[in-house]
Structure formats: structure tokens, C-alpha cells
A and B are shown apart, each in its own frame.
Chain A
Amino acid sequence: MQLDDLYQEVILDHYRHPRCSGELAEDEALVDEENPLCGDHLKLAAHISDGKLTGVKIQCQGCAICTASASLMAEAVNDQPLADIRKKSEAFLAVLRGERAASEDELGDLVALRGVAEFPLRVKCATLPWHALAAALQRLTAPPAA
């Protein structure tokens, strides 16, 4: 495995120009996830409207892999039905865990991150945004407290 496979052009592009990215105020962010091992830090905001996730916005302070993963994820899930997002998330995480091969049909641009599976110490960099998304979805869909 070469480093060029890990740091593909698509990844570098998303690292340098993260999509759906911007500053998030404390009260705007749904979740605030941190990787305690390396200090990568990510905040995420989104809404649900008509069964779709909309207005995804991410503030990420992390390495190239984490930042690119957040950016690719934002593009992949914005304005998508929740059921599709869950399916995509499961497929992506399974690929990174090395449980199955990556399929471009299933993952779209996210397939650029498949090389991360070969670098076990970096898997958590790529999955941090997806864990943040899962936490956000849970908050958005949880029944309101009585």
C-alpha cells in the first residue's frame, strides 16, 4: 500500500476545500465530537425535513483524512433520505473495518477513502465524522423528552 493510495487527489481536494464547511456557534452544533487520542475535533449541524437530512454543516479541525472524510460525508448525505444515509453509513463503516470490498455503486465518491482500511491507525480519523453524524441523527430523531 502506497501513501498515494491513501492521500488520493480527491482526498487532498476535499481537505483543501472542505464542502458544507464553516464555523458553527455553540448553540448551532448538534454534536461536538473529539478523538481523544489525537485531538481531532468536529462539530456538525443539520435538520430533518420531509424525511431528508438537510442543511448539513460541519466545522472540522483535523488531519487530511478526517477533514476529507467529513467533507465527502457531508456531500454524500445532504438532502438524502434518512434510510439511504443509514445504509450508506453502514456500508462505509464496514469497508473501513475491512469487512467488505468497496463498491463505487454503493459508496459513490466515498470510495476514495477505501485505502484507509489498509492503515488501521487512521481508520478512526475517517470514521469520526460518521460517528458524529450517527449521534446527530439520534438527537434529531429522538422523541422529545416528556
Chain B
Amino acid sequence: MSAKVLDPLKLRADFPAFGRVFEDGRRLIYLDNAATTQKPRDVLKATRRYYEESAGNVHRAVHRLAAEATGLYEEARQKVATFIGAPSPKNIVFTHGATEGINLVAHGWARKFLNASDEVLVTEMEHHSNLIPWQQVTRERGARLLLAPVLEDGTLDREAFRHLLTPRVKLVAMTHASNVLGTINPVAELIREAHVAGACVLVDAAQSAPHLPLNVTELDADFLVFSGHKLLGPTGIGALYAKAELLDAMDPLLTGGEMISRVWDDHATWAEPPQKFEAGTPHIAGAIGLGAAVDYLTRLGHDALRQHEQKLTAYALEKLGALPGLKIFGRAPERLAVVSFALEGVHPHDVAQFCDRDGIAIRAGHLCAQPLLRRLGVPAVSRASFYLYNNRDDVDRLAEGLLAVRKFFHATG
């Protein structure tokens, strides 16, 4: 049986944002999916239904709304666990996003277990969210932070990675896929190598979770984080996966209500994970919305999505690559539908401004990856990133827009 083919135009009908007509009569061409995605009606309905019908708090009261809310919230946790192949929902901690997940591991685990002789290994293609927490915690513990370099084609320097991966490395924290280059790192192999060297591995799946099938059990990942809003879900919700023994060993980052077992005047004991890490009232509606987003993606099917994105990436690389004066950063064979580029003589900010005039949303800047951009030798880039609702027509419109910008800046020069 062949995988079903995804129809972006049909899918757009699920997203209210694509029905919007702007004041200038234009419609949205949304190519900033690596930053955040549009939301399907299912997600909006699920969050709305919670607020309209089931707005009780979780895990406390016995009344019916509280029971419903708790049921929906825990059901969402189960959906997330299934989505990433976690053995149990108890391995899933709801966070406000990938950033909080990484900080939770940095402060709750690394700060507790890192010693001065230890090292943390990251890559040069990390988003700042998977770099700064490690800078902070290694500095605090007197440990060392190492960056595995990126090769010219935008792939990880595997040899250098192996060389840096000594028994001193206690943790490898790496992105599954680069938000700038689109490069997909071979995390399964890298995790195997790290485990042989005796290191734990945190996978930053913020970019990959929306596009690739994930299975933390097969990967044998120790920690994995992602954000809901990049995979059709609400903002302010995400998840941390960790192995049970790690969650047991970790300290909570936030303390207070809902994360306790017993409380005395001067001390308290913690609840079992994951509640131990979810102090205060969580983002209940967000978690429910994330569950709906995961359902939507699962129905769509990862094979169909991947096939669609691979075709679109190939087309975008060919079409944009053929434009005069355009340079594409990153040529990894295994990649996401993310294309960062520079247009000769035009600053990325100006490129994005002109694209916006045409209703095309792209990103410009350092993309929260300053060390990588320094390595690429540019202060900023433009980036188009695609998703299930984008098609070849969007690529063509972007190409036309880029030609027009170039003409504007060069013709009058």
C-alpha cells in the first residue's frame, strides 16, 4: 500500500489563518514555520472547549469540572507519550516549551551531578536555547563546555565529535535538526556513541518533532524536549521526556503547590514524577491543545508529511538556488524543509520587509544561532521554512518576491 499523498490546499481549509484577507487584499503565504506554525481548527476547538465547558483545576478538587479537566490533561500527556514513543506518560513533564525543558535538565540534573572535571558537549548548530543553559551551568560548576564543529556542507563534523567525546563528557546536548541549516543529525548513531563513552544525551527536538517520527525508546534518548507551538499546538506548552531513573534523581526547578507529597512547617517531600516538576497550576488548555495537535499530525501520517516536505525542499533548493546572487547555507543530504539564504547586496532585514509587502512571511536575523552564523561568516540570514500547508506555488511566489527585491536594490544603484 502506498502512503497517502498530502494535499496542502485541502489542508489549508483546516487553518483559519489562511482564510484571512489582509487590508491590502493579500492572503498569507506563511514560510516561517521553523519559528512557529499556524493552528488548525481542531486545536483551537479543543482549547476553547476546555475554557467553555471544563475549566476546573487539575489533580485537586472532586467536582465534575475538576475531574474532566484532570482527565483531559492526563489524556494529553498520554497522547504526547505515544507520539514520541515514550514507555509511559510518567516520563512526560509538561513545560512551557523546549527552552524550559532544557533549563529543567540544566538546573535539576546537570547542576546537581556535574563536577569540575566534567564536560558538556554540544554542537555548533545549537539554537541559543540549547547553548546558554549549558554555558551557565558549566560555568557555575566549573565544568567545561565543548562545541562540536559543523562542516562546510552544514553537517556535523562526526570525526571531531568522536574526538571530543571522551569519558570526561557527562552530557551530550544536541539538536536533532538545525533551525538554520535544516540539517538532520543522525541522533540514533550519536546517542549510541555517547552512551559507549558513558555520557547521557539530551535531544533538542524543537525542530524535528513537527516533521519527523520520533521514538525515544528506540533512540534510547535520556532526555528529549520539544515545543507545542512549532507542531500546530498552542504557545506556552511543550514537553520534556526523560528516563524514569533520571526524573527520580533530578531536582525540581519550581517548587510550590501541586508538586509535593507531604509538607511540614520547615520541609516537604516531593510528589512522584512528573508532578514533581509541575508546580502550580499548569497550562491545562495548552496541554489539551497540544494533544489535539498531536492527533492531527498522527492522522496526517508521518510518511505522507515527510514525502511532501522532501519534495517541496528539493523544489525550493532548485528554484531558489537558481536565482542570481542567491546563496544557500547548508547542503546536508538529510534535511528538513528549512532554507536559509543570503541575497547578494541586500540585507536579510530588507529582504524580509519586501517579502512581507507581498504577504510572504519569512524570517530574517541571526535566528538565535549566533555562534553558527559567525561560523558561516554572516551576521544575519533570511530563512524560509515550510510545512504541511505549503506548496510549490508558495516557493514560486517567494522566488518572484526575491527577484523583485534584488531588482529594487540593484536597478537604482
A3-B357 contact, Cβ under 8 Å, with A12-B412, A39-B370, A64-B350: yes
- Judged by a CB distance under 8 angstroms, whether B354 is at the interface is yes
A-B contact pairs, 5 of them (CB 8 A): A12-B409, A38-B365, A40-B380, A64-B347, A64-B350
Interface size class of B (residues with CB under 8 A): 10 to 19
* In the bound complex, CA of A70 to CA of B353 (Å): 19
Partner of A38, one of B357, B364, B413: B364
* In the bound complex, CA of A129 to CA of B2 (Å): 58
- Judged by a CB distance under 8 angstroms, whether B408 is at the interface is yes
Residue of B nearest to A61 (CB): B379
A36-72 interface code vs B (CB 8 A; 1 in, 0 out): 0111110000000000000000000111111100000
Residues of chain A contacted by B412 (CB below 8 angstroms)? 9, 12
Partner of A37, one of B353, B357, B365, B373: B365
A63-B408 contact, Cβ under 8 Å, with A38-B366, A39-B370, A122-B353: no
Among B353, B370, B412: residue with most chain A CB under 10 A: B353
* In the bound complex, CA of A12 to CA of B365 (Å): 20
B385-413 interface code vs A (CB 8 A; 1 in, 0 out): 00000000000000000000000110011
Residues of chain B contacted by A62 (CB below 8 angstroms)? 347, 349
Partner of B379, one of A37, A40, A64: A40
B residues engaging A (CB < 8 A)?
346-350, 353-354, 357, 364-366, 370, 373, 379-380, 408-409, 412-413
**Contact (Cβ within 8 A) A63 B347:** yes
Among A9, A40, A63, A119: residue with most chain B CB under 10 A: A63
B131 shortest CB reach to chain A, Å: 14
**Contact (Cβ within 8 A) A3 B353:** yes
Partner of A63, one of B349, B357, B366, B413: B349
* In the bound complex, CA of A87 to CA of B2 (Å): 71
A residues engaging B (CB < 8 A)?
3, 6-7, 9, 12, 16, 37-41, 61-67, 119, 122, 125
* In the bound complex, CA of A64 to CA of B408 (Å): 12
A1 shortest CB reach to chain B, Å: 10
Residue of B nearest to A121 (CB): B353
B9 shortest CB reach to chain A, Å: 29
A39-B350 contact, Cβ under 8 Å, with A3-B357, A9-B412, A12-B412: no
**Contact (Cβ within 8 A) B353 A38:** no
**Contact (Cβ within 8 A) A3 B366:** no
**Contact (Cβ within 8 A) B408 A7:** yes
* In the bound complex, CA of A16 to CA of B412 (Å): 10
Residues of chain A contacted by B348 (CB below 8 angstroms)? 63
Residues of chain B contacted by A65 (CB below 8 angstroms)? 349-350
A6-B353 contact, Cβ under 8 Å, with A12-B413, A63-B348: yes
* In the bound complex, CA of A61 to CA of B374 (Å): 13
The 7 closest A-B pairs by CB, nearest first: A63-B349, A63-B347, A39-B366, A39-B379, A39-B380, A38-B365, A64-B350
Residue of A nearest to B378 (CB): A39
B307 shortest CB reach to chain A, Å: 35
* In the bound complex, CA of A40 to CA of B365 (Å): 9
Given contacts A3-B357, A39-B366, A64-B346, 10 further A-B contacts (CB under 8 A): A3-B353, A3-B354, A7-B350, A38-B366, A63-B349, A63-B350, A65-B349, A66-B347, A119-B353, A125-B349
Among B354, B370, B379, B413: residue with most chain A CB under 10 A: B379
Residues of chain A contacted by B357 (CB below 8 angstroms)? 3
Residues of chain A contacted by B350 (CB below 8 angstroms)? 7, 63-65
**Contact (Cβ within 8 A) A39 B373:** yes
A41-B365 contact, Cβ under 8 Å, with A12-B413, A63-B349, A119-B353: no
